[in-house]
Amino acid sequence: MSLVHASHLICEQCKEPIQDVKSSMIEWLSVGGWAQVLYLRLTHKDCCYYDKKRELLEEINALDHWLPLEDVEALLDIAFEFPWDDKDLAERSFIRYIANRNLHNEERGTKK
């Protein structure tokens, strides 16, 4: 779930603000070929599951996938090549991340 605090995007791993969307990503895990909406989140690039929660990947035999927050709209087809355990919730989550990113950029007077 996307977190916005005082119009700042928050990394869902370290809970620190994301100052620059270029340094962040939306990531998710897949298990048995199915993308898991429970593991869909916004993080700094170096707060990803592979770097911070590798034991989880091994425990549930999952693969880590990600898209850059900056250009996520252009790449969404990649995310939805996977079957999702809850596609509607995944779609709403991606939309929320994009809206929060746009608000973040608008308040800073930046694009993307």
Closest of 82, 106, 105, 66 to residue 34, by C-alpha: 82
pLDDT of amino acid 109: 78
Average pLDDT, the chain: 91
- Which has the closest alpha carbon to 43: 58, 65, 61? 65
Q: What is the pLDDT of residues 69-103, one digit of tens each?
A: 999 999 999 999 999 999 999 999 999 999 999 99
CA dist., res. 79 & res. 61, Å (int):
19
User: What's the pTM?
Assistant: 0.87
32: its two tokens: 């048995």
Residue 37 has pLDDT above 50, yes or no: yes
What contacts 51, CB < 8 A, 6 or more positions away?
A: none
